[in-house]
Amino acid sequence: MSFIGSTKILPKTSTLFSVRLSPPLTRSPKDLWRLDTAEKYVRGEEALGVWKPRGVSVVEDYSRLVTMERRAADVQAIRVILAASPNRVTQAGAEVWASEDLVRKALDLWQKRFGHRGEIVISQEPNEPDVSSMESGKASDSLSVESLKLNSTTKLVPRNDGPTKKGHLMLMVDANLNTWERRWFVLRRPYLHMYTHSNEVEEIGIISLNGVNIESNPEMEALLGKRFTFTLFTASNSRECYIYTTIPPSLMYTPPH
């Protein structure tokens, strides 16, 4: 009976899941750009330490090195030819006319182009297509996106019942109207839970603090007209959250351990 008496009945409950979507492995060369092996473990990678692989700059350095070596080989070949050719005795009056012909030949040689007509540009980011190519490829892109099926991995995030801090904070819900609402925040690392009331029954949102940047400056406080205002930026800067409190955050309630 004591077990039944200590049971707490809640009208609703919430559970946190971690969902990861990744493209499937493919053997088609045109779909290799979707293959992400950044987080796959390679045996012996711990021996690399802080070393990280380079990007397309390796290809650019290689192309530059090959060009310099080819030019150096051409210079050495010309030196050998000039050293093997016999010295010619020319008349003093003919040097003036010969110099003009030499300049003309040099100009003609400079204006010629060898090898590939266009410059091959290697870039980490793909170039933006023009409007015509976008319109022509819109149908094919929509079909490829619809046909692409992502592999999902779902994990249940265990609940942390030991909060670090909790307290009321004002959350900006409408930046145009400067509307703020009072919410109950509970910090359970690495997540910041938002509740409607302090009874922690109705949970309205969760903010993951992994990679979040927190900024606080007097200029923003003067602009919003709120003291102790700070801004939360997500890791990809896709969302920002303005929060302020009437007391310093360091004086918020910390549950006893």
CA distance linking residue 81 with residue 119, whole number of Å: 31
- Domain 165-251 class in CATH: mainly beta
Calculate the alpha carbon distances from 22 to 52, 157, 208, 234 in Å. Answer: 23, 19, 20, 21
pLDDT at 251 over 70: no
The domain ranges of the chain are 165-251
User: Does residue 182 sit in helix, strand or coil?
Assistant: strand
Number of H helices, E strands in the chain: 6, 9
For residues 10 and 201, what is the distance between their CA atoms, to the nearest angstrom? 7
For 158-201, how does the pLDDT look when each residue is reduced to its tens digit (9 = 90+)? 877 777 888 888 888 887 887 888 888 888 888 888 888 888 88
Q: Tell whether the model's pLDDT for residue 84 goes beyond 80.
A: yes
Beta pairing partners, 232: 214, 241
Task: Supply the pTM of this predicted model.
Answer: 0.45
CB 241 within 8 A of CB 231: yes
